[in-house]
Amino acid sequence: MFNITLIILFFQNTRKTLFSNFLNTIISLIFIIVINLICFKAFGWLIHNANWKVITSNLPLYAFGSFPPAEQWRPATWIFSLLSLSIITLFGPEWKWLRKNLLIAWAGTIPLGLYLLYGGIGISPIMSRHFGGLTLSILLTTCSSLFSLPLGIILALCRQSSLPLIRKLSSIYIDVMRAVPLISVLFFGQLLIPLFMPVGIEIDRVWRAIFAFTLFVSAYIAEDIRGGLQSIPSTQIEAASSLGLNKYQIIQFILIPQALRIALPALTNQSIGLFQNTSLMAILGLVELLGVGRSILANPEFIGQYIEVYIWLACVYWFVCTIMAVLARHLEQRMKINQANF
Amino acid sequence: MKSSRKIFVQFVICMIFFSVIGILVNNLTVNLIRTGLGFNFNWLIKPASFALAEYPLPYSPSDSYAWALFIGWLNSLKVIISSLLVSTLLGTIIGFARTGKNSLLSFLSAGYITIIRQTPLLLQLMFWYFVGFLGLKDDMSIHIKDIFKISNQGIELSVFTLTSEFSALLLGLSIFTSAYIAEVIRGGILSVPRGQWEAFRSLGVSERKGLISIIIPQALPAIIPGLTSQYLNLAKNSTLAIAVGYSDIYAINDTIINQTGRAIECFMILLTSFLVLNLLISNSMEIINRIIINARKYN
């Protein structure tokens, strides 16, 4: 019985929202027809015309680039550990010791990833020019966000400093970085940093890219955190200083934790944007996810299969971005709960 | 902090800053001397000797580098302004559809916004260029009589033609930015209190008239700042033109660096031209903002 009322309610609702007047009815009908046509065409294409061999036969290439095949278990382990850690964070049991150690586990993934990729003690070292595919995209994202967060916090604090010189310098830096396009900063990283280095010192391309991303993203993060800092009421600072905390303690225990929590949604958007923007390195010569797609399309065997490759890449980007967004929402909710317990 | 200590700290920071800059510049001069390049802008007046696919002003390969750069800047401006208009139009429609009563439209536009925002712009640009335009076979074209025609040569309107590079860039940038603009518009409309809607409905004002004369004027002050930052993002994103082979300011700088090796000078030119572009956009938006605020005052 309950189901029937629900269905009737649904139809009434549809009538109200889709067919409320003449114009609305026409618009809805046109859109329903167009969507049906598109779906039929798309399904027909997917079943009859699409040739997914370009994806299935190149899966290791998309995931690891030109990493030596014998060592591909290393990036695979890393990606797998990241994925399983996300699943544990989202759906894992609510054990207290587990929740406490999750943050340490997340922080540990970056050194683990660097160790597994570069090699060193116990496993054979591998040059960074063999990195590629999704592994490289994730490496660029994680390392740059790790470095740009503290830099962004420092810049935001400097911009609010009482010393005019520091304030001016950091605001000039932030404004200039926000005014130039990312690709020019990355270009600076790839072409100009070697010119600024002393003769004989060379930094490899991956680290130059991470450096450029850090420079760029930290300016944006600084602005987000400044927004967080400004929304903290000044009574907090007064209360803290009347309790006898000194300047650095106030910054460390009062300002930064609250500012970070307020800025968290904006910071999430920055890191999702950063992951998407790692695709720019495809133009500048690093073979990350999009770069792999381009090089596969240049292969005579798969020539012209643009649609399959691009749809596949879009799905991968979409998937990773969604995971990041869901994780961030989870973090936001946990922080809200903590605040309520306070 | 005491003022004498403040001055001392600032002095120390100043010294550190200038010594780091000094070391970097020293490295740079050593490297430039080593590669035999030096630092000057005399090369700007030499003939560029590369062809450009499209130029709004007359250009030939025998013209100077400076002229080529200026043409590139104009090309950038052209694509920015046209996609700015298209994306505003598209974003407004989608934003209204997202907030409107028709749940099908609202669902569709929500899906559109999510898909567009979760995939990289570069991928979208390549999709529109390689699949949307170059993917069309030579004999395949969509046309409505002689007025409008889409083929792998680009879009042909009766009066003028757009090359396929320009059209792909225009389409990609507009669609990408429109998703963000739709969110800005939606936020603006939602920022108008519900009571305003109820008030004009209870006064018997028609839905359309109420939207135009009650809701939009109140939503605009919330929309304009978001819109400005989206326009600035659009200008910055237009540098991805190099991926589809459109000769904008970045692509031309890239060509010149490959030809002459003048990386430092070209980089400075690129930065300056972008600062000028940014100032242009933010100042004109500031003027629009002031006009809107004034208009509200006199009402």
Q: Decide the pairing of beta strands B161-163 and B142-144.
A: unpaired
- Check CB contact under 8 Å for A18 and B115: no
- Check CB contact under 8 Å for B102 and A18: yes
Mutation to test the A interface, candidates B21, B99, B104, most A Cβ within 10 Å: B104
Q: Rounded to the nearest 5 degrees, what angle is found at the Cα of A52, between the Cα atoms of A46 and A56?
A: 145
The pLDDT of residue B139 is 64
Q: What is the ipTM of this complex?
A: 0.86
* Of the ranges A58-62, A209-213, A302-306, the best mean pLDDT one: A209-213
- Check CB contact under 8 Å for A276 and B120: yes
The answer on pLDDT for A161 being more than 60 is yes
The answer on pLDDT for A342 being more than 50 is no
* Cα nearest neighbour of B8 on chain A: A163
Residue-wise over A187-223: b if at least 16 C-beta within 10 A, else e? bbbbbbbbbebeeeeeeebbebbbbbbbbbbbbbbbb
- Check CB contact under 8 Å for A310 and B271: no
**Domain assignments of chain B as residue spans, ordered by start:** 1-39, 40-298
* Cα nearest neighbour of A317 on chain B: B119
- Check CB contact under 8 Å for A192 and B34: no
Structure tokens at A243: 């309790």
What separation in angstroms does the CA of B223 have from each of B92, B185, B209, B234? 11, 6, 20, 16
Question: What's the CA gap between B156 and B144, in Å, rounded?
Answer: 11
Question: What's the CA gap between A141 and A82, in Å, rounded?
Answer: 13
In the sheet that holds B142-144, the strands lie side by side as: B142-144, B148-151, B154-157, B161-163
pLDDT tier at A196 (50, 70, 90 boundaries)? Answer: confident
Question: What's the CA gap between A167 and A154, in Å, rounded?
Answer: 11
* Cα nearest neighbour of B31 on chain A: A195
Which residues lie closer than 8 Å to A269 by C-beta, 6 or more apart?
A: none
- Check CB contact under 8 Å for B250 and A282: no
For residues B76 and B249, the answer to whether their CB atoms sit within 8 Å is yes
Give the pLDDT confidence of A82-140 residue by residue, as tens digits. 888 888 888 877 777 777 788 888 888 888 888 888 877 778 888 888 888 899 999 99
The pLDDT of residue A215 is 94
- Check CB contact under 8 Å for B120 and A307: no
Give percent of chain A with pLDDT exceeding 70.
97
Q: Quick one: B16 exposed, middle or buried, by C-beta within 10 A (0-12, 13-18, 19+)?
A: exposed
Q: Which residue has the higher pLDDT, A86 or A14?
A: A86
Which residues lie closer than 8 Å to A127 by C-beta, 6 or more apart?
A: A204
Mean pLDDT across B5-34: 87
Of A17, A164, A310, the CB nearest to B103: A17
Question: What's the CA gap between B138 and A240, in Å, rounded?
Answer: 72
A120: left (phi over 0), alpha (psi -120 to 50) or beta: left
**Domain assignments of chain A as residue spans, ordered by start:** 1-49, 59-341
Scan for tokens 């080593």, then name that residue.
B34
The pLDDT of residue A261 is 87
pLDDT tier at A209 (50, 70, 90 boundaries)? Answer: very high
Structure tokens at A152: 């962004």
* Cα nearest neighbour of A318 on chain B: B118
Structure tokens at A96: 């207290």
What CATH topology corresponds to B40-298?
A: MetI-like fold (1.10.3720)
The DSSP 8-state label assigned to residue B140 in this structure reads -
B145: left (phi over 0), alpha (psi -120 to 50) or beta: left
The pLDDT of residue B297 is 67
For residues A90 and A327, the answer to whether their CB atoms sit within 8 Å is yes
Give the pLDDT confidence of B59-100 residue by residue, as tens digits. 888 888 888 888 999 999 999 999 999 999 999 999 999 988
Give the pLDDT confidence of A165-195 residue by residue, as tens digits. 889 999 999 988 888 899 999 988 888 888 8
- Domain A59-341 carries which CATH code? 1.10.3720.10
The answer on pLDDT for A341 being more than 60 is no
The answer on pLDDT for A1 being more than 60 is no
Question: What's the CA gap between A125 and A67, in Å, rounded?
Answer: 12
Chain A contact set for B230 (CB, 8 A): none
Mean pLDDT across A218-247: 91
Question: What's the CA gap between A160 and A325, in Å, rounded?
Answer: 30
Question: What's the CA gap between B53 and A270, in Å, rounded?
Answer: 36
Give the pLDDT confidence of B99-132 residue by residue, as tens digits. 887 888 888 899 999 899 989 999 999 999 888 8
Mean pLDDT of chain A: 86
pLDDT tier at A2 (50, 70, 90 boundaries)? Answer: low
Give the pLDDT confidence of A258-272 residue by residue, as tens digits. 888 889 889 999 999
Task: Give the range among A133-147, B40-54, B205-219 with minimum mean pLDDT.
Answer: B40-54
pLDDT tier at B3 (50, 70, 90 boundaries)? Answer: confident
- Check CB contact under 8 Å for A181 and B236: yes
Mean pLDDT across B187-216: 89
The pLDDT of residue A313 is 92
For residues B157 and B123, the answer to whether their CB atoms sit within 8 Å is no
The answer on pLDDT for B41 being more than 90 is no
Identify the CA nearest to A313 among candidates A76, A45, A62. A62
Q: Residue B239: count other Cβ atoms within 10 Å of its Cβ.
A: 25
Q: Rounded to the nearest 5 degrees, what angle is found at the Cα of A17, between the Cα atoms of A12 and A19?
A: 85
Give percent of chain A with pLDDT exceeding 90.
24
Chain A contact set for B14 (CB, 8 A): 165
Q: Quick one: A73 exposed, middle or buried, by C-beta within 10 A (0-12, 13-18, 19+)?
A: middle
Identify the CA nearest to A207 among candidates A108, A107, A117, A82. A117
What separation in angstroms does the CA of A99 have from each of A104, A211, B256? 10, 32, 55
- Check CB contact under 8 Å for A283 and B243: yes
The answer on pLDDT for A287 being more than 60 is yes
The pLDDT of residue A15 is 73
Half-sphere exposure of B174 (CA within 13 A, CB side): 21
* Of the ranges A227-231, B172-176, B190-194, B254-258, the best mean pLDDT one: B172-176
The answer on pLDDT for B281 being more than 70 is yes
The pLDDT of residue A114 is 86
Mutation to test the B interface, candidates A184, A247, A275, most B Cβ within 10 Å: A184
Mean pLDDT across B35-55: 79
For residues A317 and A324, the answer to whether their CB atoms sit within 8 Å is no
Scan for tokens 């005019």, then name that residue.
A164
Question: What's the CA gap between A267 and A119, in Å, rounded?
Answer: 31
Structure tokens at A35: 């969507």
* Cα nearest neighbour of A310 on chain B: B127
In chain B, % helix, strand, coil (3-state, to 5) comes to: 75, 5, 20
